[in-house]
Amino acid sequence: MNSVDFLYEMVKTPSLSTHEYLVAGILRKRMKELGISAHIDKAGNVVSISDGIENSVNREQSSRLQNKKADCDLLIFSHMDVVYPILPNKKDDKTIYGRGAVDAKGPLCALLEAYSQVKDQLNYNVVFAGVTEEEATTSNGIKHLLTYVKPRMSLLGEPSNLNGITIAYKGRILAKVSVHGTHSHASNPKDNPIDKLVEYYYKIKGQFPITTPFKSITITPTFINFGTKEALNVVPDQGELILDIRFPPAIEIDNIKKILTDDKNVNVEFEEYLPGAENNINNQLVKSLMKGIRSQNLEPRFVKKTGSCDMNYLVPKGIITIAYGPGDSNLDHMDDEHILIEDYLKSIEIIKETLLNLKF
């Protein structure tokens, strides 16, 4: 199997969050073909730990490292799961189409192919991982991995086009807004909870004006549940709204929470909170990646993304983390998700140069 066929096999194989086991098997098989030993841990992550780290841990514990953290210089990883719905897959001479081609099986496969080609030339310790549940609110993959791996730096596979170096992601709050009212006839409404919720939403949104994409706080409804189609002439007595809130790293989370909970007509529960993440660009990993990009006659550019990812768990722990990978991130979660094979292959060369340039 060559690197392009490997990526297409990964894209063809469904891997919704918490159901990554088929793709995990393909990834582990490919790692074995490339001479990289790996295990699947309790979270379903596919993990390879370089010999230098293995030898530093008691042999009875080394295969899973459950009782002692393994220090490593560089964690190389990306996620195996994809979002719903699964898309039709196809491949031609120039393009691979399908869910995960960009986010993030393309970056994951590029990282593995590059690492496998230079691993014996590296003078530092590496942990390579394909992790689970990044697209879910649980993020159990990276959370579990960090219980037994302690990296100094991390190279995360996420689409940034060939010359993008992603140094920052917004934070995320997932808020469930519940509201109550009174059952009544639609022709004579008494206490309509939908009215309360609409008023609440526009009041909240008005307090966060949009300036630039990265510096703004965005409030996005992603789910609403009121009433039933079987009773369209009845005012419901309750309902709920899910808000996906994104905010830049400089914003204090407590200030946002205070505004969200200030209206006594609604009840707000916070189901997920991820702090924002931003790296200083003056570090060895950034410099090495810049050299790698320039080796392909491209000019590096820095990217700050409005979404969030597993970087949001690493940076607050003091782990320098840079995201890079082939693919146009504007195609994330879109119905026409696809990746150019030329870009995928070129990114492998860029990552190889990056790893070879990196010194500890």
Once rounded to an integer, what is the mean pLDDT over residues 57-63? 41
Q: CA nearest 43: which of 136, 173, 171, 172? A: 136
Number of domains in the chain: 2
Once rounded to an integer, what is the mean pLDDT over residues 258-283? 93
Is residue 136 domain-shared with residue 207, that is, in the same domain? no
* % of residues, the chain, pLDDT over 70: 95
pLDDT (tens digit, 9 = 90+) per residue, 190-212? 999 999 999 999 999 999 999 99
Burial 342-358 (b: 16+ CB within 10 A, else e): ebbbbbbbbbbbbbbbb
pLDDT (tens digit, 9 = 90+) per residue, 135-161? 998 999 999 999 999 999 999 999 999
Distance CA 52, CA 178 (A): 52
Is residue 32 domain-shared with residue 90, that is, in the same domain? yes
Length of the chain: 360
Structure tokens, 93: 């001479």
The SS3 assignment for 66 reads coil
pLDDT (tens digit, 9 = 90+) per residue, 312-326? 999 999 999 999 999
Is residue 110 domain-shared with residue 214, that is, in the same domain? no
Distance CA 304, CA 166 (A): 6
| Residue at 178: amino acid letter | S
Residue 52 has pLDDT above 80, yes or no: no
At residue 26, the pLDDT reads 98
We report the CATH number of the domain holding residue 208 as: 3.30.70.360
Q: Which domain holds residue 261?
A: 171-274
We report the CATH number of the domain holding residue 79 as: 3.40.630.10
DSSP conformation letters of 84-139: SSP---EE-SSEEESTTTTTTHHHHHHHHHHHHHHGGG-SS-EEEEEES-SSSSS-
Q: Is the separation of the CB atoms in 31 and 46 below 8 Å?
A: yes
Structure tokens, 206: 């008005």
All residues at 6 or more sequence positions from 137 whose CB lies less than 8 Å from its CB, including other chains: 174, 271, 272
| Model confidence, pTM | 0.90
Is residue 48 domain-shared with residue 159, that is, in the same domain? yes
More confident residue, 303 or 137: 303
Is residue 216 domain-shared with residue 332, that is, in the same domain? no
Of 250, 274, 298, the domain-final residue: 274
Is residue 180 domain-shared with residue 128, that is, in the same domain? no
More confident residue, 273 or 57: 273
Is residue 187 domain-shared with residue 295, that is, in the same domain? no
Is residue 118 domain-shared with residue 72, that is, in the same domain? yes
Is residue 95 domain-shared with residue 9, that is, in the same domain? yes
Is residue 223 domain-shared with residue 338, that is, in the same domain? no
Is residue 84 domain-shared with residue 16, that is, in the same domain? yes
Of 274, 308, 323, the domain-final residue: 274
Of 274, 290, 323, the domain-final residue: 274
Look over the chain and give the mean of its residue pLDDT values, rounded to a whole number.
Answer: 93
At residue 61, the pLDDT reads 45
Structure tokens, 342: 């030329």
